[in-house]
Amino acid sequence: MHYRSLGTQGLKASALGYGCMGWGYSGGIKLDAVTFIRQVADQGINFFDTAEVYGPYENEELVGEALHPIRDQVVIATKFGFNIVDGQIKGVNSHPDHIRQVVDASLKRLKTDYIDLLYQHRVDPNVPIEEVAGTVKALIAAGKVKYFGMSEAAAKTVRRAHAVQPVSALQNEYSLWTRQVEHDGILETCAELGIGLVPFSPLGRGFLTGTLNANSTFDPKDLRSVFPCFTAEAMQKNQGLIELLQQIADEKQATLAQIALAWLLVQKPWIVPIPGTTKMHRLIENIGALDVKLTSEEIQKIRLMVESFNVEGNRYPDAVLAMTGL
């Protein structure tokens, strides 16, 4: 396993992390989840991503049980920021008292005395970001948190927060078909301020693996069932991108997923993608991306391919999209 520094605040992690979101509420069985997460660690991955809202709560409990025996060997990231009422998301909430309550509850579910990386999951427009950063700063001083992160925030908001408490990592969607961070100032902000980037959905929520097409269907509980880029029409049109990328994969004797991850990894040395899977052969495949060496010519060829292709459908419904970039 290769390891990377996520920014300049001292946070280090395996070059690939593991997104735990798929376990628990989406049908995972507890014993299977705990066993699998431990097997992920056995493969050398030490960076695990969860959140209170996943489940809600169940995912943190699974991660806590799985990693408790090896707590000193892993980096655990979790998130606050949503208002959860009777198991349902009712908007966002980053009021200081709420943050402190969420952190205490997350610590119990994760069976740990500290959270390595605490993200604000989504910006709360009703709470000044300086208050949020100040609250996390106090939690760091108290030893409950080590590093501060933000997710899907605007560059200007990140800068304001960073002035109060250094931000160690940003978690944003970034992949071959979602490259907004290249155009909205996020990459530049990370480079300037010494912040690491943790791309979620680096495989396009499965689409970039080449296993989905216009005939694919999703369970109503699957978030993709309401995402515009996963309608049958959109997937039919977006197959053209898969066909382009398959050319590179064939030339490199690699899979589409490995090409997608390898491309992300060469963009910046402080990028750590967090693909998620519940299948061991997919996990091994993802780790294999670390051995795929792309030449400068191949990197440029891939970029030209994806930039020449117009992806059909937004990554989120409008209401969800409105919660990002604040």
Annotated catalytic residues are: 54
CA–CA dist 75, 45 (Å, integer)? 9
Structure tokens at 37: 């997460």
Q: How far apart are CA 6 and CA 312, in angstroms?
A: 32
Closest CA to 84 of 117, 133, 111, 51: 51
User: Any bridge partners for residue 13, and if so which?
Assistant: 4
Structure tokens at 295: 């030449």
- Give the SS3 label for residue 204: helix
Q: How far is CA 237 from CA 172, 195, 233, 312, in A?
A: 25, 35, 6, 7
CA distances from 11 to 116, 189, 207 (A): 8, 17, 30
Give the three-class secondary structure for 288. helix
Q: Which amino acid is at 32?
A: D
For tokens 């004797």, the residue is: 253
